[in-house]
Structure 1
């Protein structure tokens, strides 16, 4: 019933959940932070979509930490409609514009077709799903563990 996302090439870390954090890309079996100077709104749209989140809401360097370790060495040139960030064109940096501590932070809006209602916070409550023009309450019997993980992250 729900889409189950299992991103393997991009992730958002040190945020409040799957839809916010510092952008990291998997490179040679390790994770690399992406520099703010190498990332724009179209790139953010692709990442948010790949992770199953809504549209980008905030894009700012250092928002979720400066990044540690390896840094992605290419600039993304997404058009905004690609399915995966690694499907986007890339180019080599002309000059090293990546200053320490400027890993890009991204906050995507929550998925548009799923919400939690009636709980004490935006991270708790009953699951509702927007389907065919109306919000429907989802019962426990309708969800398995992967569905819950996809919704509640």
Structure 2
């Protein structure tokens, strides 16, 4: 199961703490899931964690792909620290489904607890390119977005989240009544991830965006 609080997002086995958004924070792993009364959350050493591992964690938490992985990015802690190296291939649905090394680590250097930033789970579908289409957001499940009174200013925020340049056009497209994520106009520009303001609703319109496109690829920060 997945839970979202004001300062963390977590599954039964992994969570991100003290992040700047729901999909970022210091990574902790629960190695005692079988006993709910004695859950044991522990940090992970940066040396035992790589991009494939990060992809699995971001997917498990319902977030977009990882964009940054850096020790102590969201604070550091002492022991306990997860003692084995994760060896994910990147396709697993949960971090604890991954293989881990046989060797154990007795300590982790200060400043080396994994801090992870996952990108926003947002996409455009049904257009001629990945930078055009119906705006969809994933919060547990993918749904189209309904943004009452959105204009190019709001569309520009979504295009930026998608790394798709600037907003060229926005339109409300008619559909049958369906479940959507509704994001109020006045909350879009806050700088926080869109998912933090989305509310479940039923609507007969969805947002269709056309962004300019951006062919630059951002590197994975380590």
Measure how far apart 1:124 and its partner are. Answer: 7.7
Indicate yes or no: 2:94 matched with 1:84.
yes
Indicate yes or no: 2:69 matched with 1:59.
yes
Provide the rounded CA distance (Å) in 1 between the counterparts of 2:76 and 2:45. Answer: 9
Q: Kindly provide the CA deviation profile for residues 79-103 of structure 1, in whole angstroms up to 9, marking residues without a partner as x.
A: 0000000000001336657213310
- Structure (1 or 2) with the larger CA radius of gyration: 2
Structure 1 residue runs without a partner (length 5+): 130-134, 138-153
Alignment of 1:98-113 (within 5 A): 98-112=108-122, 113=136
Count of aligned residue pairs for this structure pair: 129
Provide the rounded CA distance (Å) in 2 between the counterparts of 1:43 and 1:54. Answer: 14
Structure 1 stretch displaced more, 70-79 or 95-104: 95-104
Measure how far apart 1:59 and its partner are. Answer: 0.5
Structure 1 stretch displaced more, 9-18 or 111-120: 111-120
Residue among 18, 22, 30 paired with 2:22: 18
The residue that corresponds to 1:122 in the other structure is: 191
RMSD over equivalenced CA pairs, Å = 2.7
Indicate yes or no: 2:42 matched with 1:32.
yes
Structure 2 residue runs without a partner (length 5+): 4-10, 33-38, 123-135, 138-157, 159-182, 208-222
The residue that corresponds to 1:5 in the other structure is: 2
Higher RCO structure (Cα 8 Å, ≥6 apart): 1
**TM-score, length basis structure 1:** 0.72
Question: Residue 52 and residue 68 in structure 1: after superposition, are their counterparts in 2 closer, same or farther (change >3 A)?
Answer: same
The residue that corresponds to 2:218 in the other structure is: none
